[in-house]
Chains A and B, each alone.
Chain A
Amino acid sequence: MKTLAFSLAREFKLIVRNGISLFMVAAPALLAVIFIVVFGAVQTSSLTLGADASVSDADAKKLEQVADVARYDTYDALIARIKGPDAVAGVTVENGQTVIVVEGNEGGDFATAMDAIVGAALGTGDLSYSEETIEPKGNRAYDMSMIGVLLLSLFIGGATVGLGIVSERETGAIKAVAVSPLRLGGYVVTKVVPAILLCIAGMIAATLIMGKAEQLPGFLLLAVCSIFVSGMMIFILGAFASNQIAAIGVMKLLMPLSLVLPISAMFLSDKWQFLYYVFPMYWQYIAIRAINDGAAIWQPCLLALGVSLPWFAATVLLFGKKTTLRIGR
């Protein structure tokens, strides 16, 4: 017990000594700020239309009610704008007829939508109404970004400690641990506990900054149920990377895997979702979505815990084999 406590204290000292590690716990929170600011701007952005000199000032004023209108002196300048990287429709007048010009590769119902919007703006409809704004629980792009931020905070907790193990392997300190009274189980505890605490700290910061304080208990439950996922990342790093460069390579692979796999499940139809059931990151994503939607979270959280256990056990055994740490007495 004393050995365990001593090793845990040493682990925390190593993490805290490196101030960057603490900063990185806050990194997902900083990302959350960026996404909130940007998505706020996206939500309140307007359609952009181009109009050349043939469009009268009166019509341009009507169009200004429904879109940001950029005026161009010539038809060619308007066409050049339409062909720009973003999706912008142009309005011109040919033979007394209002014409909407689109590039053709915008996809979807872009041309139809422009037809309806411009036709209505220049038409005779008039509707009086009052309005009220309701904050949505989230749209897909917002959900995806927030899920990415939260999964990142889970990843950083595990990877921060994992790099410490790589450093121990590189310097040979792991050999001293191997001949010490500390067994593999104790060693695992000294690594997993700080990682999950880092993860919890990161998730608290990110959750509060995202303005989801009322959902904090759910996210904390998810963080605790992700203990084996963090552990899995720690010992994958420790097992497959014997030096810092290799560790960067492993993290370069682990990061997209842990982020892209669950997010890609968002787009897959329900009948193929079963392919993701073996991945604990999928259940983390389901849990985050449930928390955001106010649905029951126990099942996905417990599934994240249960599904991650065999993965965790396998990586710990592999790590033990590679480093000859003693498993039992």
Chain B
Amino acid sequence: MRGVAALCAQDFKQMLKNALFWVLTATLAVIVLVVNFALPAQLASDVSEIVIYNAPQYAYLGETMDSEEALREAVARGNVVGLLGDGESLTVIHPPMSEKTLNAIMGVISGGEPAAVTVKVLDDGARAIPFNQRMAPVFICFEALITGFILGGALMLAEKESGTVKALRISPMGTFRYVISKTLLFSVIGTLYAALICVFCVGFGVAWLPFLLLAFFGTATITLIGLAYTTLMRDMGGWFFSMTLLLAVNMLPVISYSSPSFAPGWMKLIPSYPVLFSFEKAMFGGQIDLAYVVLAMAAWLIIAYALAHMMTRKLFLKGAKGA
């Protein structure tokens, strides 16, 4: 335990020496300003508009265009469906969409007698989340939780470039203590960072226990993946820019978060997917799918630790004895 604490203190001092906490503070300030002042509470609807030409029976549905070219131009602008009549038949001009989506749109505008259906809302107290606040989990997931990935990796590479790693290799510290110390330090920093983003962007009224657990173990997992990845790199430049690709892939769940009906199976395999949606539930109410989240995060934590331990021992510490 003392060894882990000593390593944590060493890394902490490096972060202080290089003003990295100022960097985190400045980034936090940017995020708070963007969420609270730049992003709107309500987003303009992405629902398709309808434009019509030469089909007066549908004029009530949307804007009538002056010409077929104007209709095609409007459709090309995106999120617009055009109804082009030629007296007898109707042509629907639309952006790429699935056949089912087109059927759904045309079914609604067909003007036939709809079936009598009622709507039941499970949670009457559930509130629609303002768009700007809804982006807070995105910033938490892809800024706070990746702190360990970036800064842990940077410290690791600096140890390699400065030659400190040679001393680490012959010290009795071991791979386990090395990996755990970095993971623990950045899990705490990432959790604190996430909590600050939450407080300044959303407030104190969140489910803190699941939030803090998600932040802690989420940061731990991403940090371990980062450490494993960093062992493959030789210099900062190559590491930093190649890491952006990896982090970009990790960010793909934002697409499902923005378009909730798009949730392919492969998306759910990305480690940030369960964390992002669970943050939303923890911060804005709703039931977290505990079984799925616990299983997914535990699996990723185990895989990430195994990879980090093995690669750190083989490639970074090169055979240093584990604890």
Contacts and interface: CB of A to CB of B under 8 A. Distances in A.
Contact of B115 (A47, A123, A129): A123
Contacts of A142: 78
Given A34-B249, A41-B264, A156-B241, A252 B27 contact: yes
A31 interface: yes
Given A127-B90, A132-B93, A139-B46, A46 B100 contact: yes
Interface stretch (B149-157, B167-175, B211-219, B221-229): B149-157
A127 B110 contact: yes
B269 interface: no
Contact of B100 (A24, A40, A47, A126): A47
Interface stretch (A183-191, A220-228, A238-246): A238-246
Interface residues of A, number: 103
A133 B47 CA distance: 17
Contact of A135 (B96, B118, B129): B96
Nearest to B241: A24
Nearest to B115: A122
Interface string A193-226: 0000000000000000000000000000000000
Contacts of A103: 121-123, 126, 286
A30 B242 CA distance: 11
Interface string B179-218: 0000000000000000000000000000000000000000
A44 B98 contact: yes
A104 B123 contact: yes
A137 B155 contact: no
B88 to A, nearest CB: 11
Contact of B91 (A98, A118, A119, A131): A131
Interface of A: 18, 20-21, 23-24, 27, 30-31, 34, 38-48, 64-68, 79, 82-88, 97-109, 111, 113-142, 152, 156, 159-160, 163, 243-253, 255-257, 260-261, 264-265, 267-269
Interface of B: 14, 18-20, 22-23, 26-27, 30, 34, 38-40, 43, 45-47, 72, 75-79, 89-98, 100-104, 106-129, 143, 150-151, 154-155, 157-158, 161, 235-238, 240-242, 244-245, 248-249, 252, 255-256, 258-264, 274, 277-278, 280-281, 284-287, 289
